[in-house]
Structure 1
């Protein structure tokens, strides 16, 4: 009952938490050269921000010569207008940044892409030690190591955590298959790459990244530490029952290489410009081409390279090299086109809103090419899950109340075995299946562990926990009902009297036993 009350209290807090107001996100400014050429992209973004209730955003259109246009919209999580100096977290956009560092180190001869990871991290092995010994640095980069898609080893905010701290936990992990055989997107790959960088350089990953990538590209205000995130990054937003609510997101100090990297729109634009081949160049054309080639097919017409995805712009055959990412409360995209790039940062994110959020960046890319942006996809999955969980909670409460009534006031006797099966056996099996579905299968289908669902989709998580608690309570009540029914059914057997033998000398004994005086 205490757990149930705590779940209900958490649900009430979520419902009462501060949410961003409805209405259009205000456009607070753009670069001086903004004119009718960029009005279309500004209007498109403004409409999408309104549709998804995103409080604030920043985007830029870049070419090799620099930033051609910057759009700044709405407010940050602390209520200030989004400006050129507003920091956002970039999520997995950190992966191509990390890949750039690794490629620089490979070009300098400090490490080899086709060397096994154990050459740099001798303590690395999974449950199948022989297989994991064959995983290479390249397979971490292109996500073909066989490590499963999971957040079990990421998104931890333990102070002082280092990338190599994950190694002991990986000893119990099973690979999905032979290394190099298939693409399985996993941030653990890039957590290991950060550990490799630290082992090779004997320096903290964030320091190496800043010295060799961020500072040379002029990304001076990039966020690479928990202290910076706490003092420089405003609160982000996560969705609560369809509306974004501001919250102070945690920061994984070991996660700079896979997702806990951030900065201003100017910082991200500088990285995009380097990807286009603009100056300063920290990678040669050969290294960039190998990163962008997309050697690993992920689905028809889509592939993954060394830290970058290779798709085509919606509605065209134009290739786009891109990566998106999400950190708690934030989302970002970098999209490289043949002659320009688009960078986008949003201060709201939800796991179930992700497809619509990604389409914002794709729409901006299409609009810069003079194409019609894709229409906002209608996806009712989020509402359906919320509705199903809410309805499930109501039904479980009703069934629990009915079971309590039956326990207190037994109903007339039916077939005992029928009641054992219909009232106990079948419900117990259904409840066990429900517990497994909500506790394991549903979170795993979205690549998260159930406890971490609280971070990414707190409304879904709280309703899921509520249903799990109610299902467990109902299961306990059904077990009590089963025990009671079993005891009632077996009591006559335990109390049965063995018929006495009738003596031939006493022919009236049987009649006296059946008709006592």
Structure 2
């Protein structure tokens, strides 16, 4: 999987950035920003000052990271702040506003989870039921797993099989069914329920269950269960549904400047439950209000019980890291600890030239979402969603402490070596990536490359550089190109024998060789 942005995130495991859950160069041309909607109150309150600081942080990030357009929404202190910055497209510039649509990537997974919870709430589905209750023929490579894996394990990313299966099964209504039928090739990495590993394939299975239970396509079910009752009029699955709207084009960054990338339009329907939604920041703020609320829609219609809303962010599965440190996953929500013991409820999304972030702190009645139309958005999202600034400024909380340590060679030796993973790409072929770690200067330094010839020295073949500065046993801060921590986190997973078995980066497991 192509990854860009800070941390161990800069090499090709496939040809595009896709379906990650998260959260440089020369200055850009001057980009106009739209007026906030609504404007903050004229009196100089603490929150007004914070919104001004947010504007400055975003505008500086746009200049530094090559981002033409950003839309941000904040709910804090009883105020709503929604604003667009910059332009949709550097070739045909139109101002970004509250209704500009972006791909929200893997935040789509939380819509899949919320739709499933509507079915759980009305008694037509059950989280702890085996998948085969709804899909009797379901199978992966390990027959025992096919029989025992549960719906909850699909949604909290502990199903345990290889999760990055991005095959494209066409545009037909049978795309999800065909995808799920193909999953017998996916090897089992860990026992179900035991280890967190980000799993796109598991969410496709959940989407297929929604189809079977509702008797409709996945997209129609989510439209009926969520999008229409929540009045999300600019949130849709297909590009032909957004004709006439203000669309944020995708951009790559070349020599520090954004360049239009047509990748916005390409998305395999078979992966829709994992990341295909297109939405506006106004709609995302409305969605945030729903998840901070008691389960009712804007018109008062009850969509979920309060207990179901809270259940989505409770009972986390196995923890680990996915750019931030996680207590675990609830029902499709990343549950993140804070130093103040408030739970941060988070997701984010990645697609070609589209990077977004979304988090809530229910205990502080705070939510924030940001949508960007550039690969450079990854760095801005780290600044806003992985680092402490926004949490401290708006919600009064921060990350668990993480002071980078300088370790001795003997302390680093257990982590040195080669780690590898695979991914099924759109064509159905397997692509591999390997990481080689060595200890140097008290930290762990690595090179990421494809696995075409594991006998070669990746340092001699232009592999992407990465590294870790440990802050506690098995957990490290990712290092940037200059060798300093960048704010995101990765970790190592031990086997039953207590030895290092996996390296986990961006939620993916790399097996120790």
Please state which band the TM-score falls in when normalised by the shorter chain: 0.5 to 0.7
* Number of the residue aligned with 1:84: 98
Contact 1:58 1:71 in 2 (8 A): yes
Q: TM-score, normalization: structure 1? A: 0.64
* Number of the residue aligned with 2:345: 321
Which ranges of structure 1 fall in alignment gaps of 5 or more residues? 1-18, 375-429, 446-517
In 2, Cα distance between equivalents of 1:137 and 1:276: 24
Cα 1:210–1:333 change in 2 (3 A) is same
1:274 aligns with 2:298: no
The SS at the match of 1:207 is helix
* Number of the residue aligned with 2:3: none
The SS at the match of 1:257 is helix
CA-based RMSD of the aligned residues comes to 3.4
* Number of the residue aligned with 2:391: 365
Cα 1:242–1:129 change in 2 (3 A) is farther
Contact 2:37 2:98 in 1 (8 A): no
Question: Which residue, 119, 123, 131 being the options, matches 2:145?
Answer: 131
* Number of the residue aligned with 1:48: 61
Question: Which residue, 169, 172, 195 being the options, matches 1:182?
Answer: 195
The SS at the match of 2:157 is coil
Contact 2:179 2:270 in 1 (8 A): no
* Number of the residue aligned with 1:484: none
* Number of the residue aligned with 2:34: 28
Task: From the two aligned structures, give the one with the greater helix fraction.
Answer: 1
Cα 1:330–1:120 change in 2 (3 A) is same
* Number of the residue aligned with 1:347: 373
The SS at the match of 1:143 is coil
* Number of the residue aligned with 2:269: 253
Contact 1:20 1:55 in 2 (8 A): no
Contact 1:24 1:46 in 2 (8 A): no
1:75 aligns with 2:87: yes
In 2, Cα distance between equivalents of 1:431 and 1:211: 49
Contact 2:140 2:183 in 1 (8 A): yes
Contact 1:237 1:245 in 2 (8 A): yes
Cα 1:295–1:371 change in 2 (3 A) is closer
Matches within 5 A, 1:103-502: 103-150=117-164, 152-154=165-167, 156=168, 158-160=170-172, 162-228=175-241, 232=245, 233-240=247-254, 242-249=256-263, 250-277=266-293, 279-280=296-297, 281-299=302-320, 302-312=327-337, 317-337=341-361, 338-349=364-375, 354=378, 357-362=381-386, 363-369=389-395, 433-434=455-456
Contact 1:88 1:262 in 2 (8 A): yes
Matches within 5 A, 1:87-102: 87-102=101-116
Which sits farther off after the overlay, 94-103 or 294-303? Answer: 294-303
Task: From the two aligned structures, give the one with the greater strand fraction.
Answer: 2
In 2, Cα distance between equivalents of 1:42 and 1:212: 35
Q: TM-score, normalization: structure 2? A: 0.64
Decide which structure has the larger Cα Rg and report it.
Answer: 1
- What do the CA deviations read for 1:315-373 (whole angstroms, capped 9, x no partner)? 765431111111222122221122121111111126xx736533323533332236799
What count of residue pairs does the alignment treat as equivalent?
Answer: 366
Structure number with greater CO (CA < 8 Å, separation at least 6) is: 2
